[in-house]
């Protein structure tokens, strides 16, 4: 069990919902893009009303198959703009999705409580210093800058363990950490910077992880993000992310049955219904 921004997660706690707020026009899922004040305000209020426990704000798309890098200045400006609007309209804890230390620092200086680093603190060497200073709650994703091989489950655990070793030097409490096995971020090839290269089939890798969540946990709560992702599109043969809702909530329900403690989603209401049923059937 952990406490992420004063909300208990994992163990016997309810499965928590992390609502995704994208402020990057480059995002793969166009319906999730929120760039105007009114749209951000309305989306946040709606997500809270539908049952979100956290809001996760991203200022740069990191889909491996897209070339969507923007400057740290642009990423930070987008995020801080959204953070202020969120704070004016809800008390939900805010998570910022970034692996750049300057962006994280700016967010934490504006009372953001959670950093969601898809590189597991490995992309930017200065990130560990920012984390050490501000002591936020953390979502750590499995990631490596080198090609990895071997068992899907073992390699995922190893990469997460490497991130936990970085954390130990920052004196962050184990109770403030959530692990994310990075569905969609293990590929043979890609255009972006933030994915892990593997020699095996990425769809099989992701399916294996989803089937074995409990063996990846290592006594930490686990977050899963499959919402509208390529794995859903691949399995359903649906290229348009907008056509992947039913596949997404089915996968999320199964993730809950397999041990997920938090679900990060674009579809808060549908996800809330799915995990409510899945939670009842998992006991």
Confidence check: pLDDT of 164 > 80 = yes
* Stretch 200-214: mean pLDDT: 94
Give the distance between the most distant pair of CA atoms in the chain: 48
pLDDT of residue 275: 96
| pLDDT band (50, 70, 90) for residue 28 | low
pLDDT digits (tens, 9 = 90+) for 217-259: 999 999 999 999 999 999 999 999 889 999 999 999 999 999 9
Please give the mean pLDDT across all residues of the chain: 91
| Contact of 52 with 260, CB cutoff 8 Å | no
pLDDT of residue 8: 97
| pLDDT band (50, 70, 90) for residue 212 | very high
pLDDT digits (tens, 9 = 90+) for 137-156: 999 999 998 887 778 899 99
pLDDT digits (tens, 9 = 90+) for 189-198: 776 677 788 8
Confidence check: pLDDT of 62 > 90 = no
| Separation of alpha carbons 206 and 53, rounded Å | 25
Share of the chain above pLDDT 90, in %: 76
| Contact of 83 with 122, CB cutoff 8 Å | no
| pLDDT band (50, 70, 90) for residue 161 | very high
| Separation of alpha carbons 173 and 52, rounded Å | 25
| Separation of alpha carbons 35 and 111, rounded Å | 21
- Domains of the chain with CATH codes: 2-281 (3.20.20.20)
Confidence check: pLDDT of 6 > 70 = yes
| Separation of alpha carbons 224 and 183, rounded Å | 7
Give the angle subtended at the CA of 163 by the CAs of 157 and 166, to the nearest 5°.
Answer: 145
Query: Residue written as tokens 């059937």?
Result: 281
pLDDT digits (tens, 9 = 90+) for 104-138: 999 999 999 999 999 999 999 999 999 999 999 99
Q: Which residues contact 228 (CB under 8 A, 6 or more apart)?
A: 28, 29, 32, 241, 242, 244, 245, 248, 266, 267
| pLDDT band (50, 70, 90) for residue 65 | low
Confidence check: pLDDT of 67 > 60 = no
Q: How many residues does the chain have?
A: 283
Cα four-point dihedral sign 189, 157, 212, 98: negative
Can you spell out the DSSP letters for 231-268? HHHHHHT--SGGG-HHHHHHHHHHHHHTT-SEEEES-H
């Amino acid at each position: 069990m952990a406490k992420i921004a004063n909300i208990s997660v994992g163990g016997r706690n309810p499965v928590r919902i992390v609502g995704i707020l994208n402020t990057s026009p480059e995002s793969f899922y166009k319906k999730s893009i929120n760039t105007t004040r009114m749209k951000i305000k309305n989306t946040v209020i709606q997500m809270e009303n539908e049952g979100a426990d956290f809001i996760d704000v991203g200022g740069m798309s990191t889909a491996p198959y897209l070339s969507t890098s923007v400057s740290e200045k642009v990423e930070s400006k987008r995020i801080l703009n959204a953070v202020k609007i969120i704070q004016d309209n809800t008390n939900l804890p805010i998570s910022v999705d970034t692996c750049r230390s300057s962006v994280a620092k700016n967010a934490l200086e504006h009372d953001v409580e959670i950093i969601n680093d898809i590189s597991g603190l490995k992309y930017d060497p200065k990130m560990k210093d920012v984390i050490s200073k501000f002591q936020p709650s953390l979502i750590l994703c499995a990631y490596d800058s080198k090609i990895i091989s071997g068992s899907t489950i073992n390699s995922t655990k190893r990469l997460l363990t490497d991130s936990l070793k970085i954390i130990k030097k920052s004196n962050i409490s184990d109770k403030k950490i959530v692990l994310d096995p990075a569905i969609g971020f293990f590929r043979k090839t890609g255009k972006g910077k933030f994915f892990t290269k593997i020699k095996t089939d990425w769809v099989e890798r992701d399916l294996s992880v989803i089937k074995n969540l409990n063996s990846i946990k290592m006594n930490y709560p686990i977050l899963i993000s499959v919402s509208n992702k390529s794995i859903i599109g691949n399995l359903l043969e649906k290229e348009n992310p907008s056509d992947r809702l039913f596949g997404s909530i089915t996968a999320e329900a199964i993730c809950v049955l397999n041990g997920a403690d938090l679900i990060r989603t674009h579809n808060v209401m549908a996800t809330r219904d799915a995990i409510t049923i899945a939670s009842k059937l998992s006991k």
